[in-house]
Structure 1
Amino acid sequence: MSEIKKHFLSYDEQIDLLKQKKLSIKNDEIAKSELKRYSYYSLITGYKDIFKIAKNGDYKSDASFEGIIYLYKFDDSMREIFLHEFIHIEKHIKSLYSYSFCELYGDKQNDYLDANNYNYSKYQTDVNNFISILNGIIRHSSRYKYVHHNKTKYKNVPLWVIMQTLTFGNLSKMYNFSNQKLQSQVAKEFPSIYPHQLSSMLNVLSKFRNVCAHGERLYNYKTKKSIKKLDVYNEISEYNPKSKNDLFTVLICLKYLLPTFNYENFLNLLNTAITRLNSDIGESYTKLVLEGMGFPDNWKDIAAIPIN
Structure 2
Amino acid sequence: MTLEQTLLFYKLMTPSDQNKIAKEIGKLTNENLNSKTVILRPKHVISFMSNILETRNLVVHNNRVLDYKCSRNTPYIKELHTVYEIQPKEGRQDIFNVFVVMRCFLTKNQFAKLHNILRKRVRKLKNELNTISYNEVLSSLGFPEDWHDISTLSQNNE
Q: Same fold (TM over 0.5)?
A: yes
Counterpart selection for 1:221 from 68, 83, 94: 68
1:187 alignment partner, SS class: helix
Distance 1:286 1:194 in 2: 36
Counterpart selection for 1:249 from 97, 111, 121: 97
Match of 1:267 in 2: 115
Deviation at 1:283, TM superposition (A): 10
Q: Are residue 196 (structure 1) and residue 13 (structure 2) matched?
A: no
Distance 2:93 2:59 in 1: 15
1:278 alignment partner, SS class: helix
Deviation at 1:295, TM superposition (A): 0.8
Match of 1:16 in 2: none
> For residue 246 of structure 1, what is the amino acid of its counterpart?
D
Match of 1:186 in 2: 21
Distance 1:252 1:258 in 2: 11
Deviation at 1:284, TM superposition (A): 5.8
> For residue 217 of structure 1, what is the amino acid of its counterpart?
R
Deviation at 1:207, TM superposition (A): 0.7
1:280-299 matched pairs, under 5 angstroms: 280-282=128-130, 285-297=133-145, 299=147
Distance 1:298 1:180 in 2: 42
1:75-90 matched pairs, under 5 angstroms: none
Match of 1:176 in 2: 11
Match of 1:23 in 2: none
Distance 2:68 2:116 in 1: 22
Deviation sequence 1:73-118 (CA, Å, 0-9, x none): xxxxxxxxxxxxxxxxxxxxxxxxxxxxxxxxxxxxxxxxxxxxxx
Distance 1:268 1:233 in 2: 19
Residue pair 2:135, 2:146 contacting (<8 A) in 1 also = no
Deviation sequence 1:222-247 (CA, Å, 0-9, x none): 212111112222356x6437321111
Match of 1:212 in 2: 59
Residue pair 1:172, 1:199 contacting (<8 A) in 2 also = yes
Residue pair 1:207, 1:223 contacting (<8 A) in 2 also = yes
How many equivalent residue pairs? 138
- Which consecutive unaligned segments of at least 5 residues does structure 2 have? 28-37, 154-158
Could you state the TM-score of these two structures normalised by the residue count of structure 1?
A: 0.40
1:10-49 matched pairs, under 5 angstroms: none
Residue pair 2:44, 2:74 contacting (<8 A) in 1 also = yes
Could you state the TM-score of these two structures normalised by the residue count of structure 2?
A: 0.74
Alignment CA distance shift 1:279-1:229 (3 Å)? same
- Which consecutive unaligned segments of at least 5 residues does structure 1 have? 1-163
Q: Which has the higher contact order (CA 8 A, sep 6+)?
A: 2
> For residue 65 of structure 2, what is the amino acid of its counterpart?
L
2:144 alignment partner, SS class: coil
Q: RMSD of aligned C-alpha atoms?
A: 2.6
Distance 1:282 1:203 in 2: 35
> For residue 46 of structure 2, what is the amino acid of its counterpart?
S
Distance 2:14 2:146 in 1: 39
Distance 1:282 1:230 in 2: 37
